Structure 1
């Protein structure tokens, strides 16, 4: 089973300040419990072919950056939760105004077993929008000086 989803929202920050929030290090500033294990580079610097992992147990997920285009505010990751699901994750940011940014987050998910089938079967456009739709509030609550 394979499904793709996309959701757009606005972040009240300039595009140059908003885009870094969607890197692994940037998400540490606003995603509760997000603390990746960085393998390459171990500094966690976002770059093409970086490798990091999140989660524990059955939800241990391995990530790599496939496309890193900071000059155009675009990044694309591949994530793999072994025996469960895989996904291509893409984030595109574009200036809406001097202090506002449009953000488009897309996931293309593929089930890799029964658990992944159940996960993806339960995901629909509304559930995806609800999950991603929390991000602007979480970002707003974060400290812009550290994000």
Structure 2
């Protein structure tokens, strides 16, 4: 017997441009690379790894309220695309995909969240996240640009 629970699901995509070649920007979206531009981003790895882009790499982060998110690298096309599975226990689960393409003066980053609520009490929060997704992704562009303008370091190019 199969049971289907009726939960909210959202698939959200937004993009922004950066004044960097995609190969230079790519590692900004890895577990370690995001530490450069996301305040408080501090991934914890469950195993020693040399490359945080290796398929199967598992790490955990915490939001401002202390709630844990577990991430798994599920796909990576170096320099072009990476995809993570992510689970916030009793809240939501799904994937996050980042794709990069070259454009005339840099690269275009597209970020897709495909999330499903895993608890009835989380449906409204997922709808709220969806409503604010555009501004949320625009903060990524702003934070990266602030980092670049301040002369912040970049991870190694792909």
Q: 2:117 aligns with which of 80, 97, 111?
A: 111
Instruction: Provide TM-score, normalisation by structure 1.
Output: 0.89
> Radius of gyration: which is bigger?
2
What residue is the counterpart of 1:65 in the other structure? 73
Q: 1:101 aligns with which of 102, 107, 130?
A: 107
Instruction: Provide TM-score, normalisation by structure 2.
Output: 0.83
Say if 2:143 is the partner of 1:138: yes
Q: Helix, strand or coil: the match of 1:61? A: strand
> Which runs of structure 2 are paired with 1:1-147 in the superposition (5 Å)?
1-43=8-50, 45-55=52-62, 59-71=67-79, 73-97=80-104, 99-124=105-130, 126-142=131-147, 143-147=151-155
Q: Are 1:96 and 1:102, in contact at CA under 8 Å, matched by a contact in 2? A: yes
- 1:74–1:67 CA distance, 2 compared to 1 (3 A): same
The whole-number CA distance in structure 1 between the counterparts of 2:26 and 2:154 is: 14
Q: Shift of the alpha carbon at 1:45?
A: 2.3
Structure 1: unaligned runs, 5 residues or longer: none
Structure 2: unaligned runs, 5 residues or longer: 1-7
Number of matched pairs: 144
Misfit runs of 4+, over 4 Å? none
- Compute the RMSD of aligned alpha carbons: 1.8
The whole-number CA distance in structure 2 between the counterparts of 1:44 and 1:37 is: 14
Q: Are 2:49 and 2:57, in contact at CA under 8 Å, matched by a contact in 1? A: no
Q: Helix, strand or coil: the match of 1:28? A: helix
Q: Are 1:74 and 1:90, in contact at CA under 8 Å, matched by a contact in 2? A: yes
